[in-house]
Every structure is written in C-alpha cells, then in structure tokens.
C-alpha cells in the first residue's frame, strides 16, 4: 500500500510538533489533516514542497510548513521536499532557473564569477534578479503542478492495482 511505503520514511508526529523551528505554529500543528496520508494530502504536500524548493529564499522549510498548514496538506512531506534544493544542488538548479529566465526575457546570460561575500551577492543579485526570479517562480510552478498530478496519478494507480490484486485473490479462492 502507498501509505505503508510513505509511513516508513515519515518522522514521528511528536518530533515535528516539538521541533524548535516549528514551535511558533503552536496549536496549528495539532490539526490531524497535517498528518493524514491520503491522495489529497500527499499530492498537495508534493505541490507545496516542490514549489517552495525552487523559491530562492533562506529558511524555505518555514514557509513550506506555513503553506502546508494553510492548505491542510501533509506537513512532513511538504517540509522534506524542500531539501531537493540543498547546498549541493542549489548552484546547478539556480543556474538553470537563471538561464531559463534569461531565455524567457530574451536577455543574454551574464558571465558571473562566483565569490562568497555579501558584496558579491548584493551586486550580482542586483544584476540578475529579474531573470533569476522569473525562472525560479516558473520552475517552482511547473514542478509543483507536475508533482501534484503525478502523485495523484500514482496514488490512484496503486489503489486500482491493489483492488485488482484483491479481486484476483478472491476469485482464486473461489475457484476449485
């Protein structure tokens, strides 16, 4: 069952409720819909998590949790999917989103030399923010939609397959 597969990887509800970065949500974390595993909550969680994964902002987990609470979708899945963009994957992902934005805006891709400093970040971000933000939001929206509809289809496929297997087992028991 799809629920059994997902439950293997889910953290304990009490651990998440008591997480230091999520405590300010307070009683909102006690909504049972945030912990349900059904087609609606999982597909919605994929949409929220994938969308926030591609939004270029620090502490993406907190807005992902807030959106999961707002839309009443599975909180752990929403927060976990944000980690698709992590310190290792961020440079290629955000370069792709920047390149996509420049392509859409029909602007040239600027040659950027990377340097870790606050001055570099403010200077370069000032030069590239429009195509970078456009590409990021477009990628976020597309990935959220693809994730949502893919999870709904996979969940439905899995449930139908379980029904068929159950039906076949019943007919095999009845056959002499």
Q: Measuring CA to CA, which residue among 59, 67, 56 is closest to residue 128?
A: 56
Q: List per-residue pLDDT tens for the chain, 176 residues long.
A: 456 666 666 666 666 666 776 676 777 777 777 878 888 999 999 999 999 999 988 889 889 999 999 999 998 899 999 999 988 888 889 889 999 999 999 988 887 776 667 787 778 778 888 898 999 999 999 999 999 999 999 989 988 998 998 888 888 887 66
Which pair of tokens denotes residue 159?
């449930």
Buried b (16+ CB within 10 A) or exposed e, 40-51: bbbbbbbbbbbb
pTM above 0.85, yes or no: no
Rg (CA), the chain: 21
pLDDT for residue 26: 72
Break the chain down into helix, strand, coil percent, rounded to 5.
75, 0, 25
pLDDT for residue 113: 72
pLDDT for residue 12: 66
pLDDT for residue 176: 64
């Amino acid at each position: 069952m799809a629920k059994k597969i997902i439950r293997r990887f889910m953290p304990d509800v009490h651990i998440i409720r008591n997480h230091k970065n999520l405590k300010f949500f307070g009683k909102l974390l006690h909504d049972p819909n945030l912990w349900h595993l059904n087609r609606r909550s999982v597909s919605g969680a994929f949409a929220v998590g994938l969308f926030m994964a591609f939004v270029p902002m620090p502490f993406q987990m907190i807005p992902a949790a807030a959106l999961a609470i707002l839309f009443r979708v599975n909180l752990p899945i929403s927060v976990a999917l944000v980690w698709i963009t992590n310190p290792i994957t961020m440079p290629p992902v955000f370069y792709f989103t920047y390149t996509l934005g420049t392509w859409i805006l029909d602007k040239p891709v600027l040659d950027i030399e990377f340097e870790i400093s606050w001055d570099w970040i403010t200077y370069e971000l000032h030069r590239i923010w429009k195509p970078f933000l456009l590409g990021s939001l477009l990628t976020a929206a597309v990935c959220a939609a693809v994730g949502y509809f893919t999870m709904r289809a996979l969940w439905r496929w899995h449930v139908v397959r379980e029904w068929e297997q159950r039906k076949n087992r019943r007919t095999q028991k009845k056959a002499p």
